[in-house]
Amino acid sequence: MVAPHPTDGRRKGETVMLAAGFERCPALVLNADFRPLSYFPLSLWSWQEAVKAVFMERVNVLSEYDRVVHSPSIEFKLPSVISLKEYVPANRRPAFTRFNVFLRDKFTCQYCGHPGCAEELPFDHVVPRSRGGRASWQNVVTACSPCNLRKGNRLPHRCGMQPRRRPDEPNSYQLQENGRSFPPNYLHESWHDFLYWDTELEIG
Ligand SMILES: [Zn+2]
């Protein structure tokens, strides 16, 4: 199948050779604060729109499909998750999600400083829920499994395990800056994973 290339500034007349099924490779579009632009409907762009935005340098590529697009002069993987470079204001505070908690903490255990990927990191209630601790920005931190186990249901001063940074609610700018410090593909295996990690945590 041969499809016209998107109007992205590449040489006129170039075409992109496509394997079947590329239409099933949309990109999840995140705002500059790493939240989807919309959930209902989910903000997905066609691969053509996504590629165009990449070439126009309007977006950062956070994750890619394995599928490669070839043209005579260029070869690249289709983006699966992209984030806008310019924040589209929506008057909202960052959602209290697993992903944003990890992003605030730079995917680093707040007790021992061990870095990890999202799949490896549980999060920890500083004041355990069994002792009245709430699920909130101020009481939930990223923790590695060993620290999580070691701390158990104890209060921080009882076990000498205080978070390195006092947890607080981040603003969108802080999350954006933290996100920029990671290379593409580090944060998300795929946009399916992203949606999982972006599940809103229940505050309470
Ligand atoms: Zn740790």
In tens, the pLDDT along 77-100 reads 999 999 999 888 764 678 888 878
Q: Rounded to the nearest whole angstrom, what is the distance from the C-alpha of residue 186 to the centroid of ligand 1?
A: 20
E strands present in the chain: 2-4, 15-17, 27-30, 44-45, 59-70, 75-84, 123-125, 140-142
Q: What distance in angstroms lies between residue 160's CA and the mean position of ligand 1's atoms? A: 13
Q: How many Cβ atoms are within 10 Å of 130's Cβ, its own excluded?
A: 9
Domains along the chain?
A: 22-91+185-196 (no CATH), 98-159 (1.10.30.50)
Expressed in angstroms and rounded, the spacing between residue 99 Cα and the centre of ligand 1 is 18
Across residues 96-118, what is the average pLDDT? Answer: 85
Distance 87 CA to ligand 1 centre (A): 33
For residue 163, give both structure tokens.
Answer: 């978070």
**pLDDT the model gives residue 197:** 54
Highest mean pLDDT among 4-18, 144-158, 166-180, 182-196: 144-158
Cα R_g (the chain), whole angstroms: 20
For the chain, what percent of residues have pLDDT higher than 70?
71
Per-residue pLDDT band for 120 (boundaries 50, 70, 90) equals low
pLDDT band at 195 (very low <50, low <70, confident <90, very high): low
* Strand ranges of the sheet holding 44-45, from the earlier edge strand across to the other edge: 2-4, 15-17, 59-70, 75-84, 27-30, 44-45
Could you tell me the distance, in angstroms and rounded to a whole number, from the CA of residue 134 to the centre of ligand 1? 21
Structure confidence at residue 15 (pLDDT):
38
Q: How far is the CA of 135 from the centre of ligand 1 (A)?
A: 19
CB atoms within 10 A of CB 94: 22
Please give the Cα distance from 34 to 192 (Å, whole number).
14
**Unique residue bearing structure tokens 């229940």:** 202
Which range, 29-43, 46-60, 172-186, has the best average confidence (pLDDT)?
Answer: 46-60
CA of 115 to the centre of ligand 1 (A): 8
* Residue 8 in this model has a pLDDT that exceeds 80: no
Q: How confident is the model at residue 19 (pLDDT cuts 50, 70, 90)?
A: very low
Question: Does position 199 have pLDDT exceeding 70, yes or no?
Answer: no
Residue 20 has pLDDT above 90, yes or no: no
Q: Taking residues 17-29, what's their average pLDDT?
A: 69
114 Cα–ligand 1 center, Å: 5
**Ligand 1 center–CA 112 separation, angstroms:** 4
Query: How far does the centroid of ligand 1 lie from the alpha carbon of residue 142, in Å?
Result: 9
- Of 22, 181, 32, 35, nearest to 115 by C-alpha is 181
**pTM for this model (two decimals):** 0.58
Mean pLDDT of the chain: 78
Distance 147 CA to ligand 1 centre (A): 4
Q: Quick one: average pLDDT of 58-68?
A: 91
Who surrounds ion ligand 1 at CB < 5 A? 109, 111-112, 114, 144, 147
Both structure tokens of 101? 């908690």
CA 154 – ligand 1 centroid, Å: 15
